[in-house]
Every structure is written in structure tokens, then in C-alpha cells.
Amino acid sequence: MAARFTASEVRQALGLAAGESVGHFSSVSTDTRDLEPGALFVALRGERFDGAEFVELAERLGAAGAVVADSSDHAARALPLFTVPDTTAALGDLARYHRRRCGARVVGITGSSGKTTVKEMLAHAVGSEKRVHSTRGNLNNQVGLPLSILSAEEDAEVWVLELGTSEPGEIQRLTNIAEPDDAVITTVGPAHLEGLGDVSGVLEEKLDLIRGAATSGTAVVGELPAVLPARAREVRRDVVTAGLGPSSDFRPSEWHVGAEQAAFKLAGVDYTVPVGGEHHLRDALIAAAAATGLGVSPDGVARGLAEYRPVGLRGALLQVEQLTIVADCYNANPESFAAAIRYCSEAFPGRRLAAVVGSMLELGAAESEAHAEVAADLLSAGFTFVVALGAFRAAFEVTTLPEDATVLYPADVQGAAVALAERLEGDELLLVKASRGVRLERVIDSLMGGDG
């Protein structure tokens, strides 16, 4: 059930002076395309748009009120208006108000890689024994996080929320909205360097989640890179580290990784998650450690992890006759690329390895070096057929290719699909990976017989 507000509650949430308090709102919306009658419309503003231009449309569609910026041009109308300096901040204020009155236990998750996967695994693990609400997809920014909170069912006992960042201070702002009881950091690596500068900047930004979380809850971090648990323990001494190394607090006694599942044993309980690769094993350990901290029984965690399935094209394993596709089109940075390459080369021995790769975005000054390193990793891992797009073109063009390797450079994603159709033998292991903005899923649509 969507968050409901009275006019008085909206004023209280937004810090507005007492005024007209008649009326109530059945939900909160920022988009007239999915606005329901009775909703409170929040007119967000951006560099190229002003939601105040849609207030009249929102009113015609049945909105019961609107939050508008005091600097926006809006005509007087019968629709109740709540005027604020910043409508994006106001959306966060409404979400924080709803978070406080619901009383759910809130888990915040962030990390350079794996945060959406861990969020889904954790939601399944917790959901085996408790009523849980989790972020839909990856709604994890200053608009997505509040909307996720505002869509939470009021009877949910645990909220599992994803927090993303691309600039300094964003995790702190999101933490101030979500007010998490528990904190999870999956890993830290060279992602969003355009805004965060370097890996040290990424680390400090992510640690703001632990700094802002309640000390009464649990803080869990992955073991990689080693600087993450080391710095996390400087921030908070009781941090729990989950991983495979001997220094990890939450470490299995046995584990196995295959092409289609990862399994581990801990304290006599067997856990299996139906997705392959060591990186997914590590994700499952982080989720299991966090669920344990939330009071879920080991058997409950095991049941929940067994129910997990990849979300969208995040490491999904697809089959087209004899062709096996590793579809990983929603996140790409050097760290996630290294994990995907290792998975392909280790989990599918004897297969011809092929890849279509698109740019890793938001790497700033590190872009050229990062793409060159991934290109070298692909070739050294045995990928003999590569379709390179975007920044990978320059990376491969300056790389010495093995005699048995072929690299093609189509102009766009459509050209990549054509190149694959013409050159694939049909029994390869094909990695398809790029940042979300490249929209490389269109290549998979083509291979699967879709319209693209």
C-alpha cells in the first residue's frame, strides 16, 4: 500500500507553517504517466525540465494536491499547493516522515558492485521469516530511494533499501532520508570516478552509510578489497566481515562454485544460491551475514537464498540452442568486469569464449587505462572473439592480439548484433557486458529472436 498523507502531515513533513489542513492524499507521485487519482504530485525540477509545467495535467488526472518550487511559474488554481525551495529535497522529507512513522527495521545497502544482487538475496533471505519490502530494481538515487520508501507497505517488518552514489555527499544525503538501522557495503572499486575522483574517494563515500546508520544495528562489509574492512573497523569496531578469507568473521567451512550455482556450508547448515561464479558466492555470504544480524534463522536464510533469481540482465545465464549467454548489462566497472571474466573462463572449461563489450561509464580520467586493462584481461583469459564498442575500440586497437583472436569494431549496438549473427559459430560462451547507458541488452534481444 502506498504511503498516505493528510494535508497536515504533508506540512509537518515539509517543515511548512500551519495553514490549510483539509484534505488527504492516497499516494505520492512524481510522474503524471503513473499518477493515481488522489495522489500528491511532487513537481521535480531538473536541468532540462520543470515538473511545475505538469501541475495542470496532474490536476486533470485527479491529483489532490501538488508540491511545487517557490521559484516555479505556476498559476493560482483550486488544487492545493505546497510551496518549497527544493522539490527534490521535499520528496526526501516526505519519505523520511513515512520511514519514521512506520517503525520498520531498515537496512541500507551500497557498494561499487553487487549491491542490487545482495539487496535481492537479502530480501529473499529475510522474507523467509519476516514481512519484507525492498527497493524495486535499482531505484537508489535522490529520487528513486524516496519513491521506494514511499511505496513500502506499512506492515512490512524489514525494509531492504539500495543506496547509490555518483558524487561526494550523496550517500550521506540518502542515509539522512532512509535513517538505516543496519548497513551493508558489498565492495569498493573504481566506479563513478568522474564524480568521486579515485578509489579512496569511493571508499570514504561508501563508508558514510556506516557512519550514518544506527549503532544498535549490524554493519556488514565484504572482504574485498582488504582496505574496506580495515577502514570500516576504524569507523565502527563491531563491523562484521563476510567472505572466504581466514580473517572474515562470517566465513564458510566449505564452498563450491559452478556454472549455475554456488554453495557453501557454515555451522553445519548447507546454503545454495542458483547462480554461478565466485562473485555471486561472495554476494550470498554478505546477504547471509546481514540476514543473520537481522535475526533470521540459518534455515530461513538457506531457504531464502535458494529462492533467489537474477534480476533482469545482471549476470543472467541464457541459452539459445547451443549458445550460452552471460547477460550482464546493468553494471560495468573494472571490478565487475574482472569478476565476469573469471566466471566465464573458470565455469565453462573447454568452451570457445566470445564477448561483446561496451563502455564502462563515469570513469573520468581513468577511462582509457581501465578499458585497456579489461581488454588485456579478456585476451589473457582466452576470449578469442570480441566485438568492441565505445571506449573498448581504442583499447583493443592499441593492444597486441594473439594470433587466434579476432576483434571487430562495429559503429553501434545494431552493428554489434549483425557482427555476432554473422561470425558466431553457435556453441560459444558469450559474455555481453557494458554500463547500463550503452543499452547492450538490444544485442541479447537480437540473439534471442526479439525485436531489439
| Domain harbouring 422, CATH code | 3.90.190.20
Residue 276, C-alpha cell as written in the block: 554461478
Do 115 and 205 have their domain in common? Answer: yes
Q: Minimal CA–CA distance to 310: which of 124, 129, 160?
A: 124
Cross-strand bridge partners of residue 328? 314, 433
Q: What's the CA gap between 409 and 399, in Å, rounded? A: 14
Q: What does the pLDDT read at residue 111? A: 95
Q: What does the pLDDT read at residue 1? A: 52
Establish if 93 belongs to a structural domain: no
What amino acid occupies position 433?
A: K
Which residue, of 87, 116, 146, is where some domain finishes? 87
Full residue range of the structural domain in which residue 168 is found: 103-306
Q: Minimal CA–CA distance to 179: which of 135, 215, 231?
A: 215
Do 222 and 193 have their domain in common? Answer: yes
Which residue, of 87, 117, 140, is where some domain finishes? 87
Do 73 and 121 have their domain in common? Answer: no
Contact 302, 271 (CB under 8 A): yes
Residue 355, C-alpha cell as written in the block: 564477448
Establish if 222 belongs to a structural domain: yes
Establish if 261 belongs to a structural domain: yes
Match 572466504 to its residue by C-alpha cell: 244
Q: What's the CA gap between 188 and 206, in Å, rounded? A: 8
Q: What does the pLDDT read at residue 345? A: 95
| Overall number of domains in the chain | 3
Match 530511494 to its residue by C-alpha cell: 145
Establish if 186 belongs to a structural domain: yes
| Segment (H or E) for 302 | helix 298-306
Q: What's the CA gap between 381 and 326, in Å, rounded? A: 15
Q: What's the CA gap between 11 and 255, in Å, rounded? A: 53
Do 206 and 327 have their domain in common? Answer: no
Which residue, of 274, 290, 306, is where some domain finishes? 306
Q: What does the pLDDT read at residue 46? A: 81
Do 152 and 251 have their domain in common? Answer: yes
Do 282 and 362 have their domain in common? Answer: no
Q: Minimal CA–CA distance to 118: which of 279, 241, 321, 229?
A: 279
Establish if 176 belongs to a structural domain: yes
Cross-strand bridge partners of residue 433? 328, 357
Do 435 and 318 have their domain in common? Answer: yes
| Domain harbouring 56, CATH code | 3.40.1390.10
Contact 381, 351 (CB under 8 A): no
Measured over the CA atoms of residue 39, residue 155, residue 100 and residue 9, the dihedral's sign is positive
pLDDT in tens, the chain (452 residues): 568 999 999 999 999 987 766 689 999 999 999 999 999 999 998 878 888 899 999 999 999 999 999 876 666 567 899 999 999 999 999 999 999 999 899 999 999 999 999 999 999 999 999 999 998 877 899 999 999 999 998 889 999 999 999 889 999 999 999 999 999 999 998 777 777 878 899 999 999 999 999 999 999 999 999 999 999 999 999 999 999 999 999 999 999 999 999 999 999 999 999 999 999 999 999 999 999 999 999 999 999 999 999 877 777 889 999 999 999 887 889 999 999 999 999 999 999 999 999 999 888 889 999 999 999 999 999 999 999 999 999 999 988 899 999 999 999 999 999 999 899 999 999 999 998 888 898 998 888 875 54
pTM for the whole structure: 0.90
Contact 191, 113 (CB under 8 A): yes
Q: What does the pLDDT read at residue 72? A: 66
Q: Minimal CA–CA distance to 342: which of 320, 312, 315, 305?
A: 315
Q: What's the CA gap between 316 and 279, in Å, rounded? A: 13
| Domain harbouring 210, CATH code | 3.40.1190.10
Match 568521486 to its residue by C-alpha cell: 196
Contact 449, 443 (CB under 8 A): no
Q: What does the pLDDT read at residue 452? A: 44
Q: Where are the alpha helices (DSSP H) in 315-361?
A: 334-347
Q: What's the CA gap between 115 and 340, in Å, rounded? A: 15
Do 260 and 366 have their domain in common? Answer: no
Q: Minimal CA–CA distance to 286: which of 403, 189, 187?
A: 187
Establish if 96 belongs to a structural domain: no
Establish if 142 belongs to a structural domain: yes
Do 319 and 394 have their domain in common? Answer: yes
Measured over the CA atoms of residue 136, residue 214, residue 222 and residue 261, the dihedral's sign is negative
Do 421 and 322 have their domain in common? Answer: yes
Q: What's the CA gap between 196 and 304, in Å, rounded? A: 35
Establish if 98 belongs to a structural domain: no
Do 291 and 182 have their domain in common? Answer: yes
Residue 180, C-alpha cell as written in the block: 538505516
Do 258 and 170 have their domain in common? Answer: yes
Q: What does the pLDDT read at residue 300? A: 98
Which DSSP string corresponds to 63-128?
-SEEEEETTS-----SS-EEEES-HHHHHHHHHHHHHHHH--EEEEEE-SSSHHHHHHHHHHHHHT
